[in-house]
Structure 1
């Protein structure tokens, strides 16, 4: 990603797609820029402007610092000013109902659950994770997953764990509201970037994803949940229906999702350089241990491997896959 200064003193953000980037989340809209234009029409003002140059759309660059910038934020809590603007963002999004969004969709009609079908919505996310993350990467990572106690049956257990959600009316979701996607400009205004994972679906899913990614202190997480419920019910009654039972279920899904995505990400990160990162191995195994521990119940893991066992599994995975690559190279 690069930033370009135009003659009119306008900064734009230019991102060049890279083929090697792994997609671990569903993309709902074909064009992020087209979606942002649609959101501007519905008076959602905290999104980047779109600048058209020679028939190509570019996003305006937001000057400021992210909420994740440790130079500003020394703890997991956010200031009241930022907190209030986040609550207002949820209020703005819940009023954007499915028929209001004219941006072209990427997913096929049969892959779009009916408005209010929260079970169907979450099932499509599980199907994506099963097909596009687990199955697609099975040839390279099946042995490692198996050593960590994760296998095909894990999806059956997860479905039993999260099924039976209460119906809620669908709305616009950002689906990736974490600290690095939240920018505070010099005037203290909050901006929200990276809408590429935005979708239409269960409003409680957006709250659960936000809570999972933000890692608020417990008291602020409780406050955000109550404030979210207050504003979404005021805008669209029924949007928080059944939240007491369903929020833990959706959080369980997010914990399980992290296992499938982070096992792959962490493993590949150890091999980013020309040689395996033995220095980074202890931290990698500790991270996977935390993730597996959090997802033990949703995935039905009988026993979570110790950090030492995870470390040994990562080393075996590296040696086995490295041998496969060398053999393939010799054969060619």
Structure 2
């Protein structure tokens, strides 16, 4: 009983592949169920992606269609997936190669040849402004900050975390957050600490530049995939997100900051203005955001069809404790719980929510 046979996305992939064994998937991913279709005759493989029905959405999305955005980026950003029409659908080509995460896991040094191509990507994004992109957007114009309003840009992201992540999931996860020492006022503390950012000209941001979204092909060329979280905003936010997710060794992280500053200033002067003060603040926001999302994901990862996965509990609790510690400063938390306390909080949450939906949908939020 495979996902390909029973999920709507899998059935669709199977139908489009005409039952061909050249259908692979589902691929690993938080938000979408993805299958790779390899048509006979040497035609480029394509990806069929559909949002997971039980997916928890933790990030604000700007563009209505990732495929439409990719069409707009053709010729402006090197090595992004092509879009091909298959049975009336615009599907992304599948990039053959290994992710950077498979080649160099988080925490390890990135090879110089790859490092330089990441810097080039930032250089190419800096001149792409909201006014030059024709891709349709989800957000109404009145909800978009003015170009350069870095305070307004980040405030909207804080509000999204508060309303769409914390408040929306509090009926189901509220007791767990409280057990970890995360109170309602934590996000207000975070928002206050982020005021007074230096204005910088807005540009296109990928929004999710981590090692699994960077693919190295057989020729050593770097491809950037998964643009579904792309937005227009503060270029320093893209760097902060990248550093937070990549976990470079300290010396290479410092080198990336210097290279990024030089690249974006060359492409669009003013793009790195005030980075010395603002980068730690925005990175703090990313650590705080991770606390809310990783708490939910950690709790759900321990559930299976029979109950709590006790063998996995110590490892999950240890990682979650580290996430809380990293976010304590930005959120103004009074204390950081030890691993035993986190284990107890997770076990109690599982006991109290036993029998409730296993997809994390809060009551009334399904």
TM range (shorter): over 0.9
| Counterparts of 2:279 and 2:35, CA distance in 1 | 38
* Map of 1:65 onto structure 2: 98
* Map of 1:131 onto structure 2: 163
Give TM-score, length-normalised by structure 1.
Answer: 0.95
Deviant stretches of 4+, over 4 Å: 72-75
* Map of 1:28 onto structure 2: 62
Secondary structure of residue in 1 paired with 2:151:
helix
5+ residue gaps, structure 2, are: 1-33, 358-366
CA shift, 1:74, in A, is 9.2
107-116 or 277-286: bigger deviation: 107-116
5+ residue gaps, structure 1, are: 326-332
Q: 1:324/1:3 Cα in 2 relative to 1: closer, same or farther (>3 Å)?
A: closer
Alignment of 1:193-212 (within 5 A): 193-212=225-244
Cα pair 1:162 1:252 within 8 Å, conserved: no
| Counterparts of 2:291 and 2:207, CA distance in 1 | 18
CA shift, 1:195, in A, is 0.2
For the pair 1:244 / 2:276, whether they are aligned, the reply is: yes
* Map of 2:77 onto structure 1: 44
* Map of 1:188 onto structure 2: 220
| Counterparts of 2:273 and 2:293, CA distance in 1 | 30
Cα pair 1:118 1:166 within 8 Å, conserved: yes
Give the CA RMSD over aligned residues: 1.5
Secondary structure of residue in 1 paired with 2:223:
strand
* Map of 1:122 onto structure 2: 154
Cα pair 2:244 2:283 within 8 Å, conserved: yes
CA shift, 1:306, in A, is 0.5
209-218 or 158-167: bigger deviation: 158-167
| Counterparts of 1:270 and 1:7, CA distance in 2 | 41
| Counterparts of 1:239 and 1:289, CA distance in 2 | 35
CA offset digits 1:174-223 (Å, max 9, x no partner): 01000000000000000000000000000000000000000000110001
Cα pair 1:38 1:103 within 8 Å, conserved: yes
Give TM-score, length-normalised by structure 2.
Answer: 0.86
Alignment of 1:92-111 (within 5 A): 92-111=124-143
For the pair 1:263 / 2:295, whether they are aligned, the reply is: yes
CA shift, 1:16, in A, is 2.7
Cα pair 1:28 1:198 within 8 Å, conserved: yes
| Counterparts of 2:88 and 2:95, CA distance in 1 | 22
* Map of 2:17 onto structure 1: none
* Map of 1:297 onto structure 2: 329
Cα pair 1:255 1:295 within 8 Å, conserved: yes
Q: 1:105/1:8 Cα in 2 relative to 1: closer, same or farther (>3 Å)?
A: farther
